[in-house]
Structure 1
Amino acid sequence: MKMMIPIIIFMISCLLFSFSSSQPSMFDFCVADHTLPFGPAGYSCKNPLMVNVNDFSSSGILNAPNTDNIYKAGLSTAFVDAIPGLNGLGISLARVDVQPGGVVPLHTHPDATEVITMLQGNLTVGFISSNNTVYVKSIGTGDVFVIPRGLLHFQVNSGINLSVELSAFSSSNPNTQIVDEALFKSNLATKIITATTFINPIEVLRLKLLFKGSG
């Protein structure tokens, strides 16, 4: 009987999870109230009487982003800050332009899966799994590539033409951490970076100067 107790608890937990996840929300939507601060659960809901059709629309993603930077890449976003109606829906979009020779450097989205659809040009895309297996593929116009949540990934334009992609995220406000910037744009001490990455301290200082970091 004692051995059955954990099994019973597990089955009840599964049933409760199934019940809770299958229940529809009591609201059709929760439009973000941008007058209130953003919290761990997202934005608070806007008064339904104040909601209008513009809360569910944006044309900003049509605009080509600025690619005049060290990466030769840029993005235009349709996140919850631009479309309040995305709040709580767990989805958003971004347009990413990468110039020839440009990159989207190693980075991660801790809270979102990403689905890339190529609209123009070609890219080499890839991600690294938690067991350090590398998955890399060259994709062109019309191709789709999936980046699992939280994994390090990148895009490289090795061609001679501009590449344009549309990325969909499983979050209305996906977080992004770029490895280069975490190391060299922060105030993390050079000696710590050298000790933990085995990169020569002279190179660390050069990269900190490039990324305008300190330490």
Structure 2
Amino acid sequence: MKSLSFLACLSLFALIFQFAIAADPSQLQDFCVAVNSPANGVYVNGKFCKDPALVTANDFYTTGLNQRKPTNNTAGATATFLTVNNFPGLNTLGLSFARADFAVNGLVPFDYHSRASEILLVTEGTLVAGFVASDQRYFIKTLNVGDVFLFPQGLIHFAANVGQGPAVAFAAFNSQDPGTTFIPNTVFGSNPPINPALLAKAFQLNITTIMELQAKF
């Protein structure tokens, strides 16, 4: 009986621990508006806290996500992120937000978020979105206005415009700084460059092709 109780407690502890590390730590105060100067307060979640007496409504407000962003780049898409780095009021709240603008045939390149899951809402146009699970299963869906798709934390995913006109989507993340890593840029555009021979072996390509890809990034 004691062994059963011990196992039950151990299982409960493991479950609680799993939830505890699933997202950013919970705050122990109403808010902690991020500042860069240590003179203003304590260091919490990678940022210093602004003196609560000096906090105003503007610390929790931003604007501009109603505006289209240029998409005249190689991917034909632009993602505009609101994270703790440009929206200080997000500090310790475990949230961030983004807007993605797509030209016709535009693509937000294959990426993943090491610290957050992502939920995507289409507000204009038609997108195809998908992700690959750790067992290499591929989940893909065509999304129209009002449709929502979920990208689990840490899994490689993408979104592409398959409509006849521009597309817009908004995304929310359960982290103040999702840790966005774009796969092509990271692999082929690292500084200093990864040895082309290693990449050639990993991708089963010749070194010349790898070097051409590195030159693009």
Range of TM-score over shorter length: 0.7 to 0.9
Match of 2:159 among 155, 158, 175: 155
1:57 aligned residue: 61
Match of 1:205 among 197, 208, 211: 211
1:82 aligned residue: 86
After superposition, where does 1:60-209 map in structure 2 within 5 Å? 60-186=64-190, 187-209=193-215
Match of 1:30 among 5, 9, 32: 32
Change (3 A) 1:108 1:201: same
Unaligned residue ranges in structure 1 (runs of 5+): none
CA shift for structure 1 position 63: 2.7
Q: Deviations over 1:174-211 (max 9, x none)?
A: 11111111221111110010011112222111111111
Asked whether the equivalents of residues 78 and 94 of structure 1 are also in contact (C-alpha less than 8 Å), the reply is: yes
Q: Provide the aligned C-alpha RMSD in A.
A: 2.6
Distance 1:96 1:87 in 2: 22
CA shift for structure 1 position 120: 0.2
Distance 1:15 1:130 in 2: 22
Change (3 A) 1:27 1:40: closer
Distance 2:16 2:125 in 1: 47
Q: Deviations over 1:59-95 (max 9, x none)?
A: 0322322322111110222221232111111111111
Residue identity opposite 2:100 in structure 1:
V
User: Taking structure 2 as the reference length, what is the TM-score of the superposition?
Assistant: 0.85
Change (3 A) 1:68 1:198: same
Distance 2:47 2:216 in 1: 36
Residue identity opposite 1:139 in structure 2:
L
Unaligned residue ranges in structure 2 (runs of 5+): none
Change (3 A) 1:88 1:206: same
Asked whether the equivalents of residues 60 and 77 of structure 1 are also in contact (C-alpha less than 8 Å), the reply is: no
CA shift for structure 1 position 146: 0.6
Asked whether the equivalents of residues 125 and 154 of structure 1 are also in contact (C-alpha less than 8 Å), the reply is: yes
User: Taking structure 1 as the reference length, what is the TM-score of the superposition?
Assistant: 0.86
Distance 1:197 1:2 in 2: 54
Residue identity opposite 1:194 in structure 2:
A
Residue identity opposite 2:33 in structure 1:
V
Residue identity opposite 1:192 in structure 2:
L
Q: Deviations over 1:155-186 (max 9, x none)?
A: 11122211100011111111111111122111
Asked whether the equivalents of residues 118 and 173 of structure 2 are also in contact (C-alpha less than 8 Å), the reply is: yes
Query: Share of identical aligned residues, percent?
Result: 32
